[in-house]
Amino acid sequence: MWQKLSQILRRERVVWKTAAIVAAAMVLLNLTGCFQLLEWAALDSFFRWRPVESADDRIVIVGIHESDIDRLGQWPMSDRQLARLLEKIKAQQPSAIGLDIFRDLPVEPGHAQLLEIYRSTSNLVGIEKVSGQTVAPPHLLSQQGQVAMADLVVDADGKVRRGLVSLVDGEGRLRLSLGAMLALQSLEKRGIVLQEIDRRSPAQPVRLGRAVFRRFQSSDGSYIRTQATGYQILLNFRGFPCRDTGSPCPFRMVSMAEVLDDRLPPDLMRDRLVFVGTTAPSVGDVFPTPYTRNPSTRMTGVEIHAHLASQILSGALDGRSSIRTLPDPLEWLWIFGWSGCGAACGSRFLQRRRGTIVGLSIAMVGAISGSYLAFLGGWWLPGFLPFLAIGGSGVGSIAYVLFVNLQLSYRKLEEYAQTLELKVRERTRELQRSEAALQAANRELQRLVSIDSLTQIANRRRFDEYLDREWQRGVRERLRLSIMLCDVDYFKIYNDTYGHPAGDRCLQAVASAIARAVKRPADLAARYGGEEFAIVLPNTDFKGAVQVAQLIQQEVERLQIPHESSPVSPYVTLSLGIACQIPSAQNSPKALVVAADRALYRAKERGRNTYYLDEMSVL
């Protein structure tokens, strides 16, 4: 068996060597943090793609909406108004009340009435802020031990993906967050308490009913050396924010007006956790989460506390899974496996070229699908890295196969030169056939490295090479050089509306339109990245560049690609930035690209669906 395995390894050494090299490169690059934002974006997509869970009826949110603030006539609300609200909630006999409103100072009138509510409501929990700019809790609730943290953990991109369960403050006291305290109080009434599993483990696992919770580590999942102060867990959100009208709210949310006007069933809050907090955007207590696609889909702080409480409750009572991650070696093995798939497909390039491309595409889709299916099962696996590893190992294998084939061809040429004169004619014909095959392989390789696979126009690499060459020619001959950056307006919204396959078709159509508008042989149209295209116009002044920009807009407009979600047009449009300079040895092509990008930004500021010429180009 070992002999057979050894033979397989020798025969497929190109595959596993390529897979190992590419996987190692991906892992090392990932350790620098360069893929962290991309993996977070993949995780956010998984949350949005996941089927909607049923609402958690153990939690009720009393939201103070904009209409409630208008009715109050002031913010913050007075102590009398707050006391009346809490008294109405208390009358429904909830299990616990979480007051997610900072109340460190009295707001007259009615402070004495509010203090009486504090004294008589043993299941009321107020909040404080203990990190950053601290905010003190209500003094009386602090004396009674009825205070929790309102602090949230925000990632580097500004989104909330982790929940803070507890924190040891500077005085050595253990502080619980609002959601955690209410959930633990509710579970304690049911006889469910925390049980330590392994205190020596860095993850500090604890058992709570049917669930096991593990402390978030600084490099869990795709996080790279992230600050992990306190006991944090990855939040397993139940669904979209309650303000997202297109999706059901994960909790029962009622307004303050409904509570004060007695418009609720008398047992709506009985034995339930009640969170009271502001949902009005004007107050500013809103945060981006994985579900955030625009400012209107940010989640309020009181909802985030409710999600944390729901995660603890549903895990302990229902066995609902938390978001788990694999140890680093297993994640590396996951990447290596997909890298091997890409290398295996690429190694068959000479035998089945079309099959190789299809195989690589299937493998990439499989990597994303595998990560998504694992997420549905409660596991967060890398999604972008395997995708990139498949492409890298596939291209590496193809390049190696072509290189080996090239070496074999040269070896045959040497053999042909040593043959007898009697076979010169026959061997010459064979040489011609081999040379033709070699040229075809070289042309294919050149096409692969210079052409964008989706749009079939020049890629970023070809653009950089061509711009540098034309820049040097412009320096020698003192000729004007113009470039243009084009961006598909609101393309992310287009993808969200029509789906990624439609987005790919849109990019292909736009690329064809640009290619039709760029007519001179010396001009180059290229895909610059994502939905952005670039055009190099040698020996062209700004007037000529403007004419090309107008032609491009006309060609794209003629396509009539529907874009019902675009704020500027019912059809797909472009914004264009134009820059024109006479190249000099003291400058570089990068300055021209920066000028065009600046002009593109100005075009977007002017409302999009237009072009803008960089001011320096007019001089």
Whether 531 is catalytic: yes
Question: Coil, strand or helix: which one is 538?
Answer: strand
Q: Which residue has the tokens 């934002």?
A: 37
CA distance 380 to 374: 7
Packing angle, helices 301-318 and 178-189, rounded to 10: 30
Q: By C-alpha distance, which of 557, 546, 539 is closest to 603?
A: 546
Token reading at 279: 């949902």
What contacts 226, CB < 8 A, 6 or more positions away?
A: 155, 156, 218, 219
- State the DSSP string of 575-608: EEEEEEE---TTS-HHHHHHHHHHHHHHHHHTTS
CB 494 within 8 A of CB 566: yes
- State the DSSP string of 309-376: HHHHHHHHHH-PPPPEE--HHHHHHHHHHHHHHHHHHHTTTTT-HHHHHHHHHHHHHHHHHHHHHHHH
CA distance 203 to 186: 25
Active-site choice (531, 557, 564, 615): 531
AA letter at 302: V
Question: Coil, strand or helix: which one is 612?
Answer: strand
Q: By C-alpha distance, which of 305, 309, 312 is closest to 99?
A: 305
221: left (phi over 0), alpha (psi -120 to 50) or beta: left
Would you please indicate which residues are annotated as catalytic (active-site) residues?
Answer: 531
